[in-house]
Structure 1
Amino acid sequence: MKNIIPLSVIDQLEIITGERDVLTPPSRMIFIGDGDFKKVGEITVSHIKDLVGLNATDRVLDVGSGIGRVAIPLTKHINPPGGYDGIEIVKEGVDWCNKEVHKRFPHFNFHHLNVYNKMYNPKGTMQGHELRFPFESSTFDLVILNSVFTHMLEADFERYLAEISRVLKKGARGYITMFLLNEESRRLNAQGKNKYDRQLTPFTDKTMVHLQDLPESMIAFDETYAREAFAKAGLTIKNIQFGNWCGRDNTVDYQDLLSITKN
């Protein structure tokens, strides 16, 4: 019988060989996004600072905290009495962050919500449109959703907006990335300009998706509908920096970057 090297040993070897540090998760565990884990996280925090501002004493809610890609660089910016709470549907990501990040930064906390998602948590026991965040109303100064609404159906999207609004303080800010369908992005999609050949086709009257049998892999929302949904939840979109996902030139990022405020 062949000897099998325990995963824990492989993970430790990545540190010994310099492939990662203790605040970078093992490569086998990274389930969010492409590119360099640390670099992408730093870029995201830079966008947050530029678009909505970042104060050391902010109470931050990170919806879809993954395995700490944004939380880890935020540890350089958020200090008590400020704090951070991340919520995530993939339990392994939450467990790793509590073990490695919370241990070193006790004001950073991570929470597992067992919400069903066909792509990321197909065994979830809770539906997104029934969700209630485990926080009191008017708690947070800043909310972050980095590529969360890109994997969410309409009813869940609207419920999350309502819960975001509930837990934000009046005047609080938000940084959100998503895909918005408007005249330009629809035209470029129809011309086959989308990056990575991710052509979208209609899914509902308000959405288009890349894969009909797995819509949560990439969802784009009609911009007019999205604006109305934000407004209904008591949130105002202050600014949009459109991304290059549909083939635009001279953009800041791949996804559309939204800055919002709580009314």
Structure 2
Amino acid sequence: MLRKLYYLFSPSQRLMVRRLAFLPYDIWDSLTGKRNNNIPPRGMIFTGAGDFINAGKLFLEFFRQYGELKPHHRVLDVGSGIGRMALPLTTFLSEEGSYEGFDIVNTGVKWCQKNISTHHPNFNFKLIALKNDLYSSEGDEAAELKFPYNNEEFDFVFLTSVFTHMVPSETKNYMKEISRVLKPSGKCLATFFVFDYQLPSTPIKPSFGFPVDHGYYKLMDPRVKSANVAFKYDYIEKELAHDNKLRIKKFVPGYWQGLEKNKDIDFQDILVFEKV
């Protein structure tokens, strides 16, 4: 119910609602000295629930374990948010390694530029104004975006909770661009909701469903299409991966479908692609 009410607001209103909802907590943290100046205030975080620091550390392990990330790699973070994934990478990437991130939310990009790039010059953040009915009502179409990076520039690309908020035309374009900027044999780790992958039976009910059925993809909310989007596995494998010279190297089901939570999985499904 709260999720549906949240989606009734416009993108800018959603950000404001979150700031207001967490304002008492942020004030209390400042007054009591509990405020951690190395991370954003709670009201500024728009990149999902859960512990901000621990989520970043968990995904760093996923990057290393599943995506074969190395300290010397050149890394692209598609949808860099407000630094949740970038912060743990500052202590992992070596001087030979480097990071580029872009996002559509200006407050997140500005926070990262001020609090990360100033201390780590090999970390760069860009604002790219794109339309998305969850986060931004202004900007260009994501389905037409050309990433502002050179061909075969990156060893590793990752997207956390990005394709779960994009419709097929946008996702297809992003996968084309990911293939373009990846080096040969480079890896891409991305999270999805995959609605048709066969899992062992479990007594735990799925966290939520996708009632709006379009065949190869499903939506949670018809009014806010980017709220949450799920895809069919064959569509990901053939049209997103194979058609863009990528192959699925690993699939790690998430616990959103009812699997028991553990340290080796995320809420969302994880897919690792390799450029062939």
Same fold (TM over 0.5): yes
What TM-score does the superposition give when structure 1 sets the normalisation length? 0.88
2:260 paired residue among 249, 256, 259: 249
For 2:246, the equivalent position in structure 1 comes to: 235
Q: Which residue is 2:80 aligned to?
A: 65
Percent identity over the alignment?
Answer: 34
- What SS does the aligned partner of 1:245 have? helix
The two structures have a TM-score, normalised by structure 2, of 0.84
CA offset at residue 18 of structure 1?
Answer: 3.8
Aligned to 1:259: 272
Distance 1:15 1:62 in 2: 30
DSSP 3-state at the match of 1:236? strand
Instruction: Could you tell me which runs of 5 or more consecutive residues in structure 1 were left unpaired when the two chains were aligned.
Output: 1-9
Partner of 1:205: 215
RMSD, aligned CA: 2.2
Segment of structure 1 superposing worse, 19-28 or 246-255: 246-255
In structure 2, relative to structure 1, the CA distance for the partners of 1:18 and 1:79 (3 Å cut) is farther
The one-letter code sitting in structure 2 at the alignment partner of 1:33 is: G
> CA–CA distance in 2 between the matches of 1:18 and 1:245?
35
CA distance in 2, matches of 1:194, 1:244: 8
Judge conservation of contact 1:142–1:172 (CA < 8 Å) in 2: yes
CA–CA distance in structure 1, aligned partners of residues 31 and 61 of structure 2: 30
Pick from 93, 97, 105 the counterpart of residue 82 of structure 1. 97
Pairwise CA distance, 1:248: 2.7
How far the C-alpha of 1:221 sits from its partner, in A, is 0.4
The count of residues paired between Structure 1 and Structure 2 equals 249
Shift of 1:244: 1.4
Aligned partner of 1:104 among 101, 119, 143: 119
User: Equivalents in 1 of 2:91, 2:27: separation in Å?
Assistant: 24
Q: Residue in 1 aligned with 2:133?
A: 118
Equivalent-residue separation in structure 1 for 2:38 and 2:184 (angstroms): 33
Q: 1:98 to 1:183 in 2, by over 3 A?
A: closer
Match of 1:215 in 2: 225
Give 1:27-46 correspondences, 5 Å limit: 27-46=42-61
SS in 1 for 2:109: helix
CA contact (8 A) 2:155 2:186 kept: yes
Q: Deviations for 1:215-234, whole angstroms, at most 9, x for unmatched residues?
A: 21111001101111211111
Q: Deviation at 1:202?
A: 3.0
Q: SS of 2:69's equivalent?
A: coil
Contact kept in structure 2, 1:48 and 1:175, CA below 8 Å = yes
Indicate if the aligned counterparts of 1:192 and 1:199 stay in contact, CA closer than 8 A: no
Change (3 A) 1:183 1:95: closer
Q: CA deviation at 1:22?
A: 2.5
SS of the counterpart of 1:175? strand
CA contact (8 A) 1:15 1:22 kept: no
